[in-house]
């Protein structure tokens, strides 16, 4: 790859809220990239636990001109924090990472190479795995296979986790400020429905700390996410990207998925209780 060993024109944006326990590993996974990004912008989203000061101390270890901290006075949520980082970014591309997730060392190299070879791509995501260790043994195929993510697929499901996404900085769309749940899915749908090209690479280049739903089995959190998804479809209808019949059908489909998720979480909880009971009966 011709650009290898040069700095990629990529700004990494990391929203951080009470993230002192995990953010050092996230930043370290960026610093260990085979192709470094132009800059890393950590947006301290109103944390009062010293997260901002902690990252500034880390910046002295790396380079304060490379690892930057942007402070928000009040907690505004990840969507607003990502927008703030995006607005401050100097890179041609924006890559998102969460403060409790990590990247494979080849993530920027492979993804940037693909985008350079496909200048019509506005948004590129990739696969992921749930982190269960260091992740150093991940076998990443290269060249990675990629496929277009059509608008219909994005309307029905969200195949793109936020820490996998690299997007062109100059597109006109942004996360919905203040939105706390499924804000990422809404942005992906808006980009795809506008006619811009969205692709997903197959390689699992991100290690995320929790499943996309049902982590901890919190029904209230799942309902908040469901309401966020329902609101997404209504918003798309309101701005004219989909019609009323499509919005109603998608909302019905979403509710059916929600019921299925509740059943899956209930089954996991029951299985866990059974395993616990069996363990308790052992001498």
Name every residue whose Cβ is closer than 8 Å to that of residue 84 and which is 6 or more positions away in sequence.
43, 70, 72
CA-based max dimension of the chain: 64
Confidence of residue 135 (pLDDT cuts 50, 70, 90): very low
pLDDT greater than 80 at residue 210: no
Quote the percentage of the chain above a pLDDT of 70: 88
pLDDT greater than 70 at residue 141: no
Confidence of residue 268 (pLDDT cuts 50, 70, 90): confident
pLDDT greater than 70 at residue 220: no
Cα distance between residue 206 and residue 204, in whole Å: 6
Whole-model pTM: value is 0.88
Confidence of residue 277 (pLDDT cuts 50, 70, 90): low
Structure tokens, 112: 């940037």
Quote the percentage of the chain above a pLDDT of 90: 75
Q: Output the pLDDT for position 209.
A: 83
Q: Output the pLDDT for position 63.
A: 92
Q: Output the pLDDT for position 93.
A: 98
Cα distance between residue 11 and residue 89, in whole Å: 6
Q: Output the pLDDT for position 193.
A: 98
Q: Output the pLDDT for position 25.
A: 95
Ramachandran assignment for 141, one of left (phi > 0), alpha (psi -120 to 50 degrees), beta (any other): beta
pLDDT tens string 10-21: 999 999 999 999
**In the predicted model, what is the mean pLDDT of the chain?**
89
Name every residue whose Cβ is closer than 8 Å to that of residue 17 and which is 6 or more positions away in sequence.
44, 45, 46, 47, 51, 75, 78, 81, 99
Confidence of residue 279 (pLDDT cuts 50, 70, 90): very low
Of residues 95 and 6, the one with the higher pLDDT is 95
pLDDT greater than 70 at residue 225: yes
Structure tokens, 179: 């939105």
pLDDT tens string 38-86: 999 999 999 988 999 999 999 999 999 999 999 999 999 999 999 999 9
User: Span 157-166, mean pLDDT?
Assistant: 96
Name every residue whose Cβ is closer than 8 Å to that of residue 94 and which is 6 or more positions away in sequence.
10, 11, 12, 13, 85, 86, 166, 167, 168, 169
Beta bridge partners of 135: none
Q: Output the pLDDT for position 222.
A: 86
- Nearest residue to 190 (alpha-carbon basis) of 247, 158, 236, 231: 236
């Amino acid at each position: 790859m011709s650009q290898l060993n040069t700095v990629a024109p990529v700004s990494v944006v990391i929203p951080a809220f009470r993230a002192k326990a995990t953010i050092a590993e996230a930043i370290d996974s960026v610093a260990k990239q085979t192709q470094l990004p132009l800059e890393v912008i950590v947006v301290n989203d109103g944390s009062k636990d010293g997260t901002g000061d902690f990252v500034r101390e880390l910046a002295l270890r790396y380079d304060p001109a490379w690892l930057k901290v942007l402070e928000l006075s009040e907690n505004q949520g990840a969507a607003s924090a990502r927008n703030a980082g995006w607005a401050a970014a100097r890179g041609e591309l924006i890559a998102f990472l969460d403060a409790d997730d990590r990247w494979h060392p080849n993530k920027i190299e492979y993804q940037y190479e693909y985008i350079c070879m496909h200048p019509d791509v506005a948004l590129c995501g990739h696969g992921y795995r749930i982190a269960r260790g260091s992740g150093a043994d991940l076998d990443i195929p290269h060249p990675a296979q990629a496929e277009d993510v059509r608008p219909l697929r994005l309307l029905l499901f969200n195949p793109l986790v936020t820490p996998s996404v690299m997007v062109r900085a100059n597109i006109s769309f942004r996360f919905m400020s203040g939105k706390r749940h499924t804000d990422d899915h809404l942005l992906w749908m808006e980009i795809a429905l506008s006619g811009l090209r969205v692709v997903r690479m197959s390689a699992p280049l991100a290690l995320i700390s929790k499943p996309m739903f049902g982590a901890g089995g919190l029904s209230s959190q799942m309902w908040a996410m469901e309401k966020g998804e329902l609101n997404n479809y209504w918003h798309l209808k309101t701005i004219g990207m989909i019609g009323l019949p499509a919005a109603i059908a998608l909302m019905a489909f979403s509710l059916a998925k929600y019921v299925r998720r509740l059943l899956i979480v209930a089954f996991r909880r029951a299985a866990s209780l059974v395993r616990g009971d069996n363990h308790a009966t052992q001498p």
